[in-house]
């Protein structure tokens, strides 16, 4: 008679557990985990282009030429900030006025209509006429109701601090931004007095960033010291302001993505009869800057898309990991006392 081999009890128990595990798995004891739904990838947000228009009195007509060429070549401006003369052009542009309409108004502008001289006050010009002119052009809308986000930069006389107007009376903010010390009376607003923004921010790059711009095009028309003294009072004051704000202005200007510098050195701050020449200078400078603007916009767009994709992949990994943590472990995992590897699940979600 043939005898059967005796199987040790320990081996028999191990074999039975293994068999049970196989049977449980076959019967759905360790169900397949549903995959976490992948987050829908939204397209990266469009870049917001901001325009920072500097001060320069009559040279400010050059801003109109710059805007004309940017629009004609498909560069859409989303926000605009202005200092002094730049705030005048910026307010009209932010109101929805197109650059050709601005040019027509500039050509037809009677300088005396925005100059209200008043003797024996804090300045030769009161500035109320300029305020009324701007408000008429923007149809009386306050800054925060203009179609395009706008900021006017001024200097608070009591503290010397930069003030950025982004709400309230549009004409009054422009007047405050344009009140050249010694020429215009300081503007009183809510118990404070304000003078030309060129003292602290000749080209308001930072204000354009504050409005949400990702890419800032700055237009610098400021007066540069050329070894000779201006002969008229407005020229002296204008150059003095430029010298005072030169260092701070250079630092702020370095934070722009592109700087456009129209050739307006021969145009004096009071040379309103050269408005057409200033507009033409702005057009030429903007055209020359277009290759740089396009190249840098494309570079920033690629970087933005890459960052957006990386963020989306991180969100996918986190969603998979959280879904894994919320699932109950299968019976086999419980039997073997094993927890699911949710970190691995998250890592595989983005592959």
84 is catalytic: yes
User: What digits encode the pLDDT tens for the residues 45-90?
Assistant: 789 999 999 999 899 999 999 999 999 999 999 999 999 999 999 9
Within 10 Å of residue 56's Cβ, how many Cβ atoms?
Answer: 29
Confidence at 16, pLDDT banded by 50, 70, 90: low
Q: Which of 210, 214, 207, 144 is nearest to 177 (CA)?
A: 207
**Candidates 84, 177, 178, 179; catalytic one:** 84
Give 241-265 pLDDT, tens digit per residue.
Answer: 777 667 778 899 999 999 999 999 9
Query: pLDDT tens digit string along 137-166?
Result: 999 999 999 999 999 999 999 999 999 999
Q: What is the pTM of this model?
A: 0.77
* Weakest-pLDDT range from 79-93, 213-227, 259-273: 213-227
Q: What is the mean pLDDT of residues 132-137?
A: 96
Q: What DSSP element (H or E) covers 163? A: strand 162-165
Beta carbons within 8 Å of 135's beta carbon, 6+ residues apart: 169, 170, 171
What single-letter DSSP state applies at residue 35? P
The pLDDT value given to residue 280: 97
Q: Which listed residue (154, 177, 179, 196) is catalytic?
A: 196
Using the predicted structure, report yes or no on whether residue 22 has a pLDDT greater than 80. Answer: no
Q: What is the pLDDT of residue 24?
A: 47
Distance CA 45, CA 12 (A): 65
Q: How confident is the model at residue 181 (pLDDT cuts 50, 70, 90)?
A: confident
Distance (Å, rounded) from C-alpha 56 to C-alpha 339? 70
Instruction: Determine whether 206 is an active site residue.
Output: no
pLDDT tier, 27 (very low <50, low <70, confident <90, very high otherwise): very low
Question: Residue 334 above 60 pLDDT?
Answer: no
* 181 Ramachandran zone, left/alpha/beta (phi>0; psi -120 to 50): beta
Find the Cα–Cα–Cα–Cα dihedral 9, 13, 15, 16, rounded to 10°. 130
Query: How high is the pLDDT of residue 133?
Result: 96
What are the residues whose beta carbons fall under 8 Å from the beta carbon of 260, sequence distance 6 or more?
A: 66, 217, 218, 219, 220, 282, 285, 286, 289
Mean pLDDT check: name the lowest of 205-209, 230-234, 304-308.
230-234
**Does pLDDT of 288 surpass 90?**
yes
């Amino acid at each position: 008679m043939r005898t059967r081999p005796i199987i040790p009890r320990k081996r028999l128990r191990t074999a039975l557990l293994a068999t049970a595990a196989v049977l449980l798995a076959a019967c759905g004891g360790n169900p397949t985990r549903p995959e976490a739904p992948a987050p829908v990838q939204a397209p990266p947000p469009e870049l917001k282009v901001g325009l920072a228009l500097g001060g320069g009195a009559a040279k400010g007509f050059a801003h109109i030429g710059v805007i004309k060429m940017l629009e004609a070549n498909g560069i859409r401006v989303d926000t605009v900030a202005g200092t002094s003369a730049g705030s005048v052009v910026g307010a009209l542009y932010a109101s929805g006025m197109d650059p050709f309409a601005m040019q027509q108004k500039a050509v037809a502008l009677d300088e005396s209509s925005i100059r209200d001289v008043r003797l024996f006050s804090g300045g030769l010009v009161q500035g109320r006429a300029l305020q009324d002119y701007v408000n008429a052009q923007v149809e009386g809308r306050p800054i925060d109701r203009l179609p395009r986000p706008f900021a006017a930069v001024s200097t608070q006389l009591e503290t010397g601090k930069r003030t950025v107007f982004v709400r309230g009376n549009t004409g009054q903010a422009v007047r405050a931004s344009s009140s050249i010390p010694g020429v215009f009376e300081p503007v009183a607003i809510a118990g404070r007095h304000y003078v030309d923004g060129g003292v602290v921010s000749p080209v308001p790059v930072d204000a354009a960033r504050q409005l949400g711009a990702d890419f800032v095009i700055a237009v610098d028309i400021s007066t540069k010291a050329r070894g000779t003294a201006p002969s008229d009072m407005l020229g002296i004051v204008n150059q003095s302001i430029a010298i005072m704000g030169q260092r701070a202005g250079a630092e702020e200007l370095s934070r722009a993505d592109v700087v456009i510098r129209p050739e307006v050195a021969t145009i004096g701050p009071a040379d309103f009869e050269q408005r057409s020449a200033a507009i033409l200078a702005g057009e030429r400078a903007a055209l020359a800057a277009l290759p740089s603007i396009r190249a840098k916009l494309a570079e920033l767009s690629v970087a933005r898309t890459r960052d957006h994709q990386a963020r989306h992949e991180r969100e996918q990994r986190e969603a998979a990991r959280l879904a894994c943590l919320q699932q109950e472990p299968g019976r086999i995992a419980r039997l073997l006392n094993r927890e699911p590897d949710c970190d691995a699940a998250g890592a595989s979600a983005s592959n």
